[in-house]
Structure 1
Amino acid sequence: MSIQGMIRPIVAALVLTVSYSCKEKTTKVEDNKPQIEKEVIAKDILGNPDYLAISYGGYKADTRDVQPTIAELKEDMKILSAMGIKILRTYNVQLQQASNLLKAIQELKKENSNFEMYVMLGAWIDCKNAWTGETPDHNVESEQNEGEIARAVALANQYPDIVKIIAVGNESMVKWAESYYVQPSVILKWVNHLQELKEKGELRKDLWITSSDDYSSWGGGDDSYHTEDLEKLIKAVDYISMHTYPYHNSHYNPEFWGVPEAEEQLSDIQKIDSAMVRAKAFAVSQYDAVSNYMKSLGVDKPIHIGETGWATVSNGHYGPEGSKATDEYKEAMYYHQIRDWTNANGISCFYFEAFNEKWKDAANASGSENHFGLFTIEGQAKYALWDMVDKGTFEGLTRNGNPITKTYDGDKEALMQDVLVPPTKKEQAVAH
């Protein structure tokens, strides 16, 4: 039988058994056996629990002037792939991190035909005068935005088998991003531009376009965000990528976090566990608020979580002198609850984040922004992943040359010494 004659029945069988609209293509033949490479598109992988998502930076130094090398990126990809992660979210294409990451994934795919990793490529969007020391002008966009979008387009076309989504901006519309936020009209302009490139055939038609922003920016919060441009944006994107952070709200909107009077007689661990159930419910409520606003506009399209997470160290608002939300036990509870909920409901969750990064609050080593990772910079797995270490998930893998081990040397009793009980409602009232 000819090679083509061998391939046809194999492809036909695969088409019958694949439950998603994956395309199939034949690659090289080894030992007279055709290899079938699966080609997926965004709608196949978003909301699919077989394609877990995560937010990824990979920076190890206290400045982004030190970019992760391709070798370091490949090391991280192997760790994340072992966890079942198959979609990464990046944040900008101004620096080398994203382009190097795409090179690293391409190399891993060449080295191992079974390696599978896709990217939601972020294009950073700013207002005029952002990060310059001058007063930001939130009604005028930065002249840098055009180049950023062009770079994202170029990378999407260079790596069509890896880049499946472009996200225009990160928390670029939410008004508490005072250093750089823009009006929805700016995001709409660039989303429409990318959608037009798809129509012209200058980008793949199956590449999905979105913007990744706070739940309030998508209409789930204050009515001041409910503008005509936001309505147009919701109709223009292929899906909504929303952020929700019960962790931050344990300080800024703490009503859900405090221990109710009816639970004051519970044990400490019961109080903590109950608070974490409320935290997950808080995230679900913000998701539902965005969904309800979208549907009120007569729109029905997917909503996925572009960011949510829980830090494990804080000497500020969320630590011992603050909301007492911060530790590895609570991170583990939140991580597993949010994964269970999103997987069960066909929602992708780009959990924030894979590894600690210390550049985010370089002047304060114990600042919470440095400690959202599921792994430490050195490669220790935090409590959320201890079970994976026990199962040998990371056997033979390293980060910075270190094998993947457990934080606290695997001593849960020592870990629990750092776990604080959330304040009661009465204590919250006194503090505020």
Structure 2
Amino acid sequence: MKIVIAFLAFTLAVGCNSKNKLQSQATQEVAMTAATILGNSEYLAISYGGYRHIEHAIEPTIKELKEDMKLLAAMGVKILRTYKVHLPQASNVLAAISELKNEDVNFEMYVMLGAWIDCKNAWTELAPDHENESERNAVEIATTVALAKKYPSIVKVIAVGNEAMVKWATSYYVQPKIILKWVHHLQGLKKSGVLSKDLWITSSDDFSSWGGGGTEYHTPDLEKLIKAVDYISMHTYAYHNSHYNPTFWEVPESEKELSDIEKVERAMVRAKTFAVAQYKNVKNYMTSLGIDKPIHIGESGWATKSNGFYGQKGSHATDEYKQGLYFQQMREWTKKEGISCFYFEAFDEQWKDAANPLGSENHFGLINLKGEAKYPLWDLVDAGVFNGLTRNGKNITKTYNGDKALLMQSVLVPNIKYKRAN
């Protein structure tokens, strides 16, 4: 009898401990909201796409996504950004994270879920109608809501549109009133209890779309939108501006006698300063409206290959050393300021410019398609954080076999003679 009683007591204790652990996990998940995650330096953010093939139609499997989630977690990433809920990757990422959480109660990863927004006639032979929206937008929003309801412990932010208001997105951009409509819809679902009141709603767009650029964006609808979102998610790309707005990239007269590497390092300081200035421009516009709410970086990154505007025949902005400097400087600045930066991006994706393998859009990742960590992550490889982890069955190694002298041979000095082609 004593043995039976002891066994029952042991079973009860184990059951209570398991229950307490699950209750503790549930409490932690409730506590970790967008408000506590964004701006938290212990919760690094990143932009994520897990597509490995040239054919965008080939979706990453759950197994591949889980592989990626483990790599991101090893890097210290705890919140990632997706882009299009109508593609299987978005829902599969949530399923993969859910499985990992079930396998390990300590696994922690959250998601900023993106709803793609288009104007009417986008991506068709008809002229884009920027004043009206695609019929698909309603489906995109409904799918986003369904996923947020299904995975409330994982989805902490919904972004309505990706660069959907910036006017250079000529194929699909919409006016702010379209984004505002859906933000109001989602905020209404929060008020009615359909969505969690702690879920944050935003739109992720170029700094200019948030009022940080030309006055053509300063409209009453944008003002209403800034009031309606829970925070501003802005994009800033000094990399692209080394071609489109290269004044900050030119080597000033006072630096022309410096060594080549000093010229590169000074240029990268100016690149970070350029990004900071765009952030401040958005903040200044927001405060001029009498509004005070968080601003976080929805995208910023640096490509490592380019045979176009940013490479050997262009601004000379492209190489891994510069990517490493930019990554480090952006992480340091945003940590100091209490800003989240969804750094763009985790892995190279070759579908983005499928016809041009050396196109810069294919090479923004911190890890390439061969499972090699680029220069910004070499120290993590040295620290062993990727030990036991793989991508596509390959161990994570360093680019250039970790030979920095070899890497430095590829570094391009800012092109002081470069002038943007009209």
Q: What range describes the TM-score normalised by the shorter chain of this pair?
A: over 0.9
Unpaired runs of 5+ residues, structure 2, are 1-13
Match of 2:406 in 1: 414
Conservation of the 8 A alpha-carbon contact between 1:58 and 1:68: yes
CA–CA distance in structure 1, aligned partners of residues 338 and 100 of structure 2: 28
Match of 2:7 in 1: none
Structure 2 letter corresponding to 1:97: Q
Shift of residue 30, structure 1, vs aligned partner: 4.0
CA–CA distance in structure 2, aligned partners of residues 394 and 300 of structure 1: 40
Matched, 1:149 2:130: no
Conservation of the 8 A alpha-carbon contact between 2:314 and 2:415: no
Deviation per residue, 1:353-399 (Å, 9 max, x gap): 00000010000000000000000012110000001001101001000
Structure 1 letter corresponding to 2:297: I
Match of 1:180 among 148, 172, 183: 172
Match of 1:64 in 2: 56
Give the 3-state SS of the residue equivalent to 2:379 in structure 1: helix
Deviation per residue, 1:321-369 (Å, 9 max, x gap): 0000000000000000000000111000000000000010000000000
- Equivalenced residue count is 404
Distance 1:158 1:266, change over 3 A: same
Distance 1:431 1:213, change over 3 A: closer
Match of 1:286 among 271, 278, 292: 278
Over the matched positions of the two proteins, sequence identity in percent amounts to 68
Matched, 1:44 2:4: no
Conservation of the 8 A alpha-carbon contact between 2:201 and 2:229: yes
Shift of residue 132, structure 1, vs aligned partner: 1.6
CA–CA distance in structure 2, aligned partners of residues 349 and 172 of structure 1: 19
Structure 2 letter corresponding to 1:154: A
Match of 2:119 in 1: 127
Give the 3-state SS of the residue equivalent to 2:80 in structure 1: strand
CA–CA distance in structure 1, aligned partners of residues 195 and 267 of structure 2: 46
Conservation of the 8 A alpha-carbon contact between 2:324 and 2:375: yes
Shift of residue 133, structure 1, vs aligned partner: 2.4
CA–CA distance in structure 2, aligned partners of residues 34 and 387 of structure 1: 34
CA–CA distance in structure 1, aligned partners of residues 320 and 40 of structure 2: 27
Give the 3-state SS of the residue equivalent to 2:160 in structure 1: strand
Give the 3-state SS of the residue equivalent to 2:346 in structure 1: coil
Give the 3-state SS of the residue equivalent to 1:210 in structure 2: strand
Shift of residue 32, structure 1, vs aligned partner: 8.5
**Superposition pairs of residues 4-403 of structure 1, within 5 angstroms:** 29-30=16-17, 34-35=21-22, 36-37=24-25, 38-39=28-29, 40-403=32-395
Give the 3-state SS of the residue equivalent to 1:343 in structure 2: helix
Distance 1:321 1:30, change over 3 A: same
Distance 1:91 1:31, change over 3 A: closer
CA–CA distance in structure 2, aligned partners of residues 288 and 141 of structure 1: 31
More displaced 10-residue stretch of structure 1: 385-394 or 35-44: 35-44
Shift of residue 220, structure 1, vs aligned partner: 0.2
Give the 3-state SS of the residue equivalent to 1:350 in structure 2: strand
Shift of residue 151, structure 1, vs aligned partner: 0.2
CA–CA distance in structure 1, aligned partners of residues 307 and 19 of structure 2: 61
CA–CA distance in structure 1, aligned partners of residues 285 and 125 of structure 2: 36
Match of 1:428 in 2: 418
CA–CA distance in structure 2, aligned partners of residues 93 and 78 of structure 1: 22
CA–CA distance in structure 2, aligned partners of residues 114 and 282 of structure 1: 38
CA–CA distance in structure 2, aligned partners of residues 232 and 430 of structure 1: 36
Shift of residue 98, structure 1, vs aligned partner: 0.4
Give the 3-state SS of the residue equivalent to 1:164 in structure 2: strand
Give the 3-state SS of the residue equivalent to 1:428 in structure 2: coil
Deviation per residue, 1:2-43 (Å, 9 max, x gap): xxxxxxxxxxxxxxxxxxxxxxxxx97447964521121110
CA–CA distance in structure 1, aligned partners of residues 20 and 146 of structure 2: 35
Structure 1 letter corresponding to 2:57: D
Conservation of the 8 A alpha-carbon contact between 2:246 and 2:420: no
CA–CA distance in structure 1, aligned partners of residues 332 and 143 of structure 2: 36
Give the 3-state SS of the residue equivalent to 2:343 in structure 1: coil
Give the 3-state SS of the residue equivalent to 1:155 in structure 2: helix
Shift of residue 81, structure 1, vs aligned partner: 0.0
Distance 1:72 1:253, change over 3 A: same
Structure 2 length normalisation: TM-score?
0.94
Structure 2 letter corresponding to 1:129: N
Give the 3-state SS of the residue equivalent to 2:184 in structure 1: helix
Conservation of the 8 A alpha-carbon contact between 1:312 and 1:326: yes
Conservation of the 8 A alpha-carbon contact between 1:28 and 1:34: no
Shift of residue 226, structure 1, vs aligned partner: 0.2
Conservation of the 8 A alpha-carbon contact between 2:53 and 2:350: yes
Unpaired runs of 5+ residues, structure 1, are 1-26
Conservation of the 8 A alpha-carbon contact between 1:309 and 1:372: yes
Structure 2 letter corresponding to 1:83: M
